[in-house]
Amino acid sequence: MEEVIKIKGGKLLNGTIRVSGAKNATVALIPAAVLAYGKVKIVGIPNISDVNSLKDILEYMDVKVTTPNVDEIVIDTTNMENKPLVIDAVSKLRASYYFMGALLGKYKHVVIRMPGGCNLGPRPIDLHIKGFEALGAKIEYDNGNYILTADELTGANIYLDFASVGATINILMAAVYAKGRTLIENAAREPEIIDCINLLNKMGARIRGGGTSTIVIDGVEKLDGCFHEIIPDRIEAGTYIILAAAMGEHVIIENVIPYHLDSLLSKLKEIGVNITFSFDQVEIYKTDTPYECTNVKTMPFPGYATDLQAPLTALLTQAIGNSKITETIYSERFKHCQELNKMGANIILGPASATVVGPTKLTGGNVKATDLRCGAALVVAGLIAEGTTTIHDIYHIDRGYEDIVAKLSALGADIYRENI
């Protein structure tokens, strides 16, 4: 038996959709909370399977996890034990690697299995490792497990060869308990990093420069509990904005920080989407003028997000002309193109790039979510397509989109889950 998502395409969407808390912030905030010696309460937790995997990891370490409400979590480390993280939950998501920085910072010793996550081509963690070494840690790799140890951690100047989201967050988690000052140069600037820094500072850390390329961390002795609300998920918001651009008559997307989506909003305006935004919402109206093609290059924030590349590619199959998509983050992140081509798209792959020849008619069929954002692209395509689209391997979608079927049904989409 396999659970699939089925979509009968071609229906116009109307109504309001509310964006959940940011997945890629949540998956950093939960490991960050174990640095505290008090209770950390986080609200705005999305109901996604990555969060369940992180809860499993916490509970394995005897951390008390309570959920006063569905979107809240209270993390209490009073009885926490730094056990070797060689359990299956670690392999279910990429972000389990944040326990490296957090546990190294707190206990100066970590044993952890290689992290999992979407298969987007090579995803090394050499920059994380170099950062930990610069702080004084020794790293061994044995039979699929990393072993990190330090007598003590000392602040250092760390230059990242690439502005990596994961390396920036991981290094700053280890550095909060290091002696003296750590400087991360060429740090990533994604909003999720600022959110993580805000949490750590509320816990008592001394971190400045979040959102810029230079982050300064002055080590402290002890972090306490705090209360924190997660930022909205800019990638979930962007996916719904794209999907509304494809099939919306009048769709309002709430709980958005438009500044986080500047690059997407300007691309959509460029191709002719009728879109307006205010303080915390975006509105999309149907237009009768066909969309024009465009060129997109993915880049670290504030550039166009790689996580919104696949959904936009699905929309561009409907635009007139050749759109060139270039990936500078994950050169192999194009598996969705093969699935879209099965539905009638005409996408030609090149080195780290794809050319979408549009417009093409899309027709439903059997397709596979090869990773999370491929899944999102197939939902967009399924809503556009004539006939029924059956999406397989939907566990990828459930890792990152809360209640996607319910949220889209509320807009009038004909979408449902089925066991086949």
The answer to the question of residue 260 lying near ligand EPU (CB under 6 A) is no
Q: Is 13 helix (H, G, I), strand (E, B) or coil?
A: strand
Which stretch, 2-10, 12-20, 159-167, 387-395, contacts ligand EPU (CB under 6 A)?
159-167
Closest approach of ligand EPU to the CB of residue 261, in Å: 14
Give dist(CA 11, CA 385) in Å, integer: 9
Q: Evaluate whether 166 touches 178 at the Cβ level (below 8 Å).
A: no
Triad 35, 400, 395: Cα angle to 5°: 120
The answer to the question of residue 294 lying near ligand EPU (CB under 6 A) is no
Continuous H helices in 79-147: 88-91, 98-107, 126-134
**Residue whose beta carbon is closest to ligand EPU:** 166
Amino acid identity at 338: Q
What element of type H or E holds 392? strand 388-392
Site for ligand EPU in 311-370 (CB under 6 A): 329-330
Binder of ligand EPU out of 32, 167, 264, 273 (CB under 6 A)? 167
Residue found under tokens 């999370």: 372
Closest approach of ligand EPU to the CB of residue 327, in Å: 9
The contact pattern for ligand EPU, residues 67-106, with x = CB under 6 A and - = no contact, is ---------------------------xx-----------
| For ligand EPU, the closer CB: 307 or 398 | 307
Give dist(CA 289, CA 274) in Å, integer: 10
- Give the sign of the dihedral formed by CA 348, CA 349, CA 351, CA 352: positive
What element of type H or E holds 391? strand 388-392
Catalytic one of 118, 226, 293, 374:
118
Site for ligand EPU in 375-404 (CB under 6 A): 400
Say whether 118 is catalytic: yes
The answer to the question of residue 159 lying near ligand EPU (CB under 6 A) is no
Closest approach of ligand EPU to the CB of residue 93, in Å: 7
The answer to the question of residue 307 lying near ligand EPU (CB under 6 A) is yes
Q: Is 7 helix (H, G, I), strand (E, B) or coil?
A: strand
Binder of ligand EPU out of 165, 176, 217, 343 (CB under 6 A)? 165
> 39 in the Ramachandran plot: left (φ > 0), alpha (ψ -120 to 50) or beta?
beta
Binding residues for ligand EPU, rule: CB under 6 A, are 24, 27, 94-95, 118, 122-128, 162, 164-167, 188, 235, 306-307, 329-330, 372-373, 400
Active site residues: 118
